[in-house]
Amino acid sequence: MSAGLRTVILLSFVLAVGFLLIILSCALWSNWLPLLVALTFVLAPLPNALFSHCGSDEFSSYEGGGGPVDMGRFLTSLIVITGFALPIVLAHSGIIDSKASAMSIVGGGLVYGTIIAYSAAFTQSESEYD
Amino acid sequence: SDYDPRRVCLNPCPNFTLGKHRRTMGVYLAGALFALANWTFLDAAVLSAHAKPRWGDEVPVHVSFVDWVPGICSLLGYLVINMIDKDRIKGEEGFGGDSRAVWRARLFLFIGFALMAGGLAGSVTVLILKYILPAYTPQFTYYGYANVSQSVALMLSAVVLWIAQNTSNEYEYNLTL
């Protein structure tokens, strides 16, 4: 239990650092376009979470899933790449600074990594419960 | 054991050793390629919209609607290809015996591939006619190359998605045998 608590505290700390980097990348150059990266990475796990319960019931042992599960994975991958590509594109055409782009990419990666690690830890504890 | 005399083409793709997660990895890779394709072109479009003239000159060329047409064709073809039920195309005899449905599925598959190939050809046309023949500087021919790479990456994404979804089907098929 204490290990789980420590994990939650660590992950929330990392999440805060990620958001700090994104907001700093906006505020230092007073150009609030990189905030879209935070929105993108927050939206990224949503399709997988929505579609993962669509394809299979609990009686089918086949884990491959059907069309809806594939759709969710496709959308997740698309949104993650969008989150990385958006600041690069903005920096390439000189709309935001290249340092702001790097900071928002690192911050977005931290936010997304936090969400992934949190969901992984959560499913681990759930299977422990079974 | 995988020799079937009814098949015209043997599957030239080697069996990947990713095992159980083959389908998952393929779908993720296809999504990533899809996003990369569209962002490559959007990069060119944003770059063109924010291009600043140097030394007071005019910017000679911009990304206009002509550049968007091949990408739109490729996207439509992508949608058409992925909306077809893959089991219909194989046209097995015991599959309801509806030969007209198989024919229609193959027709729509052909339309989808024709749209994608048309998108690729159109992007190459735009690259040559709009950017290479007037001999622009590399700053502007980049728009054309981005257009071509968008179409190529969309085709690659469709191929990867197709393979990822078909390997699982064949695996199931072998199990039922």
Distance CA A71, CA A60 (A): 19
Question: Is the pLDDT higher at B54 or at B148?
Answer: B148
- CB-nearest to B46 from A75, A80, A93 is A93
Contacts of B24 in chain A (CB under 8 A): 73
ipTM of the complex, rounded to two decimals:
0.80
Average pLDDT value for residue range B13-42: 79
First and final C-alpha spacing in chain A: 16
Q: What amino acid is encoded at B81 in this protein? A: I
Helix (H, G, I), strand (E, B) or coil at B134: coil
Contacts of B28 in chain A (CB under 8 A): 73-74, 76-77
Q: Do A89 and B39 touch (CB under 8 A)?
A: yes
Q: Do B47 and A92 touch (CB under 8 A)?
A: yes
Quick one: closest CA in B to A93, which residue? B47
Q: Is the pLDDT of residue A61 over 50?
A: no
Give the pLDDT confidence of B109-122 residue by residue, as tens digits.
Answer: 899 999 999 999 99
Give the pLDDT confidence of A9-31 residue by residue, as tens digits.
Answer: 999 999 999 999 999 988 888 88
Contacts of A79 in chain B (CB under 8 A): 35
Q: In which residue are the tokens 């989808």 written?
A: B112
Crossing angle for the helix pair B22-49 and B65-82, to the nearest 10 degrees = 170
Give the pLDDT confidence of B115-152 residue by residue, as tens digits.
Answer: 999 999 999 999 999 988 888 888 888 999 999 999 99
Q: Do B36 and A81 touch (CB under 8 A)?
A: yes
Distance CA A100, CA A35 (A): 11
